[in-house]
Amino acid sequence: MDSFTKKILIALGIYASFAVIILILFHTTFMLSLIPSSSMEHTIEKNNIVFSTRYDVEEEDIERFDILVFIPPDDPDITYIKRVVGLPGETIEVKDGKVYTNGMELDDSFIKEPQNQMGDGVYRVPENSYFFMGDNRNNSRDSRFWDTPYVPIDDIQAKAKFIIFPFTDICSFSYN
């Protein structure tokens, strides 16, 4: 084998090794999501690409208002990205365009526009499950409208960290 062929094989081996490492990391540690809808506007716009981490989605890691990637209970063939509104054991009430948890009104400073009254109701979040809503609440298919409104912890895949594309929209989601 001549030296040129050896160099090509070494280069291909390096590229293949790098590709395998990247694939393993994105299968176990990271996630990229292309956002197909406007349900999270103005926080996340349609066609943004969001970078998420898979290692911080245990119950002790999840807090109200985190933005998570998950499998919705009514359609296990797709993934959604929405904001956590209700935590395990809480009672969520959606009434007159406002959201309350255990009787206290929640912050809605991040929503796109005042919420209409669609989806009004009282929801009791079971243990090991979460209640989700989109930031564009008037145009979001979320927990309020699913046959099974609660997402089990086992169906949560990742926590959104920042928008990576388009470059004009790059931003980080702040978590305390």
Residues 74 and 148: beta-carbon distance below 8 Å: yes
Are 166 and 55 spatial neighbours (Cβ–Cβ below 8 Å)? no
Q: Is 82 a catalytic residue?
A: yes
Q: Which of 33, 52, 82, 143 is catalytic?
A: 82
Q: Which long-range contacts (CB under 8 A, 24 or more apart) does 60-66 make?
A: 61/159, 62/87, 62/130, 62/153, 62/156, 62/159, 63/87, 63/175, 63/176, 64/101, 64/106, 65/107, 65/110, 66/159, 66/160, 66/175
Catalytic residue, chosen from 17, 33, 37, 39, is: 39
Asked whether the CA dihedral 42, 47, 52, 54 is positive or negative, the reply is positive
Q: Which residue, among 142, 107, 135, has the nearest Cα to 121 in the 3D structure?
A: 142
List residues with catalytic annotation: 39, 82
